[in-house]
Amino acid sequence: MSTREPRELLAVLVEGDERTVAATVHLGDLIEKGAGAEWFTYGLAVTGRDGGATKHFAVRFSGDQRSAFVFDFDSNTQANYDGSNVDVHETSTVARFPDATLGLNWAGSLSGFSTVEGDDVTVEAPVQVLKTCASRARRLPALPLEVVAGDVLGGLVVRPLTLPELDASRLEETVVED
């Protein structure tokens, strides 16, 4: 997958604990609107009980550069992360946001979004929140996942991509459902 051209955002898988958030965006075909774009973004929007935005976790691609950021609407602040926190795979991109939390102590919602040069392309992509074991999150990097079957409404079948530091016994298919 080339990071130089925007692709369709299919779904977002998110995992987090009290110290970090990892988001995996699953991508489809190239989008027509993105031809020749200088920059584009994939992200996770967190909304509060009132429907207003509270945080955006996002990955931005600009030329050969990639970066991640968290924008907090309540405090009007942004935390920026360099490209070392972003891994690009064939059908997905994984972003890690150290020292960030989702803040899921509310009755709001999560949705995936994508933009091309600031214009909305996708505004409500489905999001799956994966249960996180805090002790595992400290030892392992975010797991890049590949969607292997299923539809978004009925759940996604995903498998972790092979990483040298992972124990082979952890590389079993997992069904993630609503």
CA atoms 133, 10, 56, 61: torsion sign: positive
Q: Is 56 exposed, middle or buried (0-12, 13-18, 19+ CB in 10 A)?
A: middle
Query: Is CATH 3.40.50 what the domain over 7-139 is classified as, yes or no?
Result: no
pLDDT tens digit at each of 178 positions of the chain: 445 688 899 999 999 887 889 999 999 998 877 677 889 999 999 988 888 889 999 999 998 899 999 999 989 999 999 999 999 988 899 999 999 888 766 667 899 999 998 888 888 999 998 865 444 433 334 444 444 444 343 344 444 443 333 333 333 333 444 3
What's the rounded Cα separation, in Å, for the pair 40 and 61? 5
